[in-house]
Amino acid sequence: MIILHILVIIFLDTGLNYTLFFTLLYIIGLWKLFEKSGIKGAWTLLPGARQYQLARCAGRESEGRGYSLSTVGMIIFNLAEYLGDLGVLPINRLPGGDLTILILVIVLVMVNLVYHIRVISGLIEVYGVRKRWMWLWIIDTSAFIPALIWGFNKNYQPEWQVEDINAALKRLASSGSASVMDEGLTINLKERTVTEFFQKKYLLRDIHMSIPLGHMVLLLGGSGAGKTTYLNAVNGYEKAKAEVMLNGKNMYKQYKKMQYEVGFVPQSETMCGKDTVYNTLMDAAKLRLSKDISAEDRKKRVMEVMEIFGLLPVKSNLVEKLSGGQKKRLSISMEFISNPSLFILDEPDSGLDGVMARELFVQLRKIADTGKIVIVITHTPDRVIDLFDDVIVLAKDSARTGRLAFYGSIEEAKAFFGRDRMEQIVKSVNRKEEGGDGLADEFVMKFAEVQHGS
């Protein structure tokens, strides 16, 4: 606190600007607060980075990105306005003039305030203090008070440090791997990372499993758990640090050769509404089947697929005239035309009622029974859960990384989580602020111990 006394004396003697003085005190307080959370205090000296690191201290890293960007936006605008006053930058010549400038300012300030409140709410939870502290944090001229008190007072300590999260992540890591099968899908994914906001970010980590042929697998996980990222890594669309083996062949090393061994049906449909059903499938056949196949065999395959998915009665209809269920079946047929060994579907029942969805999943069950592997994401799993063999549950751990919380049969999943319904399982691993039970780390740790046989 000696430093604070010195600063006060300097302020009184020199008559420094109040705003500058309060900002200096705020930075000093945050420096100590950052150090308590295991983050280098020097980050407080960089506007934008300061807000992002504060969000990390609060366990609100996702909000930190918006907080940081809106802060930088405000700085850029203030600089532009200053240069405009000097006549260097003609900011006053923007379309709409002063009104446009006013709207931009209001939007930036409101966005920044919303993120600021979210981050401080997280910080209050981490420090276990009363919510009334929020009033001091959200006012610029008083924010230095909680920053200094929380930073310098030993009675205020965070419940965890950012570095503790990294240690927990390593502790939860699985050093094992799944044995490669000659027939079936083997996934040994070590990590999928990106670089964001000054650091390496883990999207997925330590996911190991083997899926036999003939299995229909449900992929569960809350928002942001990495389900789509995981599927993209499996099918090779977004390569991860991983080994993905399909029927003994390496998907990554032989991607061009094996890309038609995998059928991937995204949530959004990419079909031309002016084409007929038959022509749509013929175009798909020309793209996905071998060039050596004769025109007659290609036509035969198209007819087979239309029969499988009940599209023969509408083969001459325009795509835009089809019902929602028929469009879904056509979208699936386009991928199934190459007779893939692995079939992946991202919410194929989106927009369908219960009866139509059930009919669609029955058809997928029949495909799995022919010796294919079918992996499906759906947000209404309980209405068709009897059709699945296994379930994969992904969850965000404390470091917001997608982890494997479970892989096994449906009945084993119910016993493992102590829940009777799949939707309850998702709720159990979701964060509390997302309406969940916040038990992701617990189940990730528990499953890691099961995999290691401990």
For residue 437, what pLDDT is reported?
87
Bridge partner list, 357 = none
Q: In the predicted model, what is the mean pLDDT of residues 399-415? A: 91
Q: Do 118 and 207 belong to one domain? A: no
Q: Do 61 and 194 belong to one domain? A: no
pLDDT digits (tens, 9 = 90+) for 168-187: 555 555 556 778 878 899 99
Q: Do 133 and 212 belong to one domain? A: no
Q: Do 115 and 212 belong to one domain? A: no
- In the chain, what percentage of residues exceed pLDDT 90? 29
Q: Do 131 and 222 belong to one domain? A: no
Q: Do 268 and 374 belong to one domain? A: yes
pTM over 0.85: no
Q: Do 65 and 20 belong to one domain? A: yes
pLDDT digits (tens, 9 = 90+) for 262-317: 888 877 667 676 789 888 888 888 888 877 788 888 899 999 888 888 888 888 88
pLDDT digits (tens, 9 = 90+) for 208-230: 999 999 999 999 987 788 899 99
- In the chain, what percentage of residues exceed pLDDT 70? 86
What band does 97 get if pLDDT is binned at 50, 70 and 90? low
Q: Do 278 and 343 belong to one domain? A: yes
Question: Where does a domain end: 159, 182, 206?
Answer: 159
Angle at 197 between CA 124 and CA 140, to 5 degrees: 40
Question: Where does a domain end: 89, 124, 159?
Answer: 159
Q: Do 12 and 110 belong to one domain? A: yes
CA distances in angstroms from 99 to 72, 105, 109, 111, listed in the order given: 22, 10, 15, 18
State the total domains in the chain: 2
Question: Where does a domain end: 159, 188, 209?
Answer: 159
Q: Do 283 and 370 belong to one domain? A: yes
Place of tokens 């879904």: 328
Q: Do 260 and 301 belong to one domain? A: yes
What's the CATH number where 172 sits?
Answer: 3.40.50.300
Determine the structural domain holding residue 175 and report its residue range. 168-451
Q: Do 175 and 136 belong to one domain? A: no
Place of tokens 């992996």: 375
* 247: region left, alpha or beta (phi > 0 left; psi from -120 to 50 alpha): left
**Hey, how many other C-beta atoms are within 10 angstroms of the C-beta on 409?**
14
Exposure string (b/e) for 140-155, b if CB count within 10 Å is 16 or more? eeebbbbbbbbbbeee
Instruction: Say whether pLDDT at 391 is over 90.
Output: yes
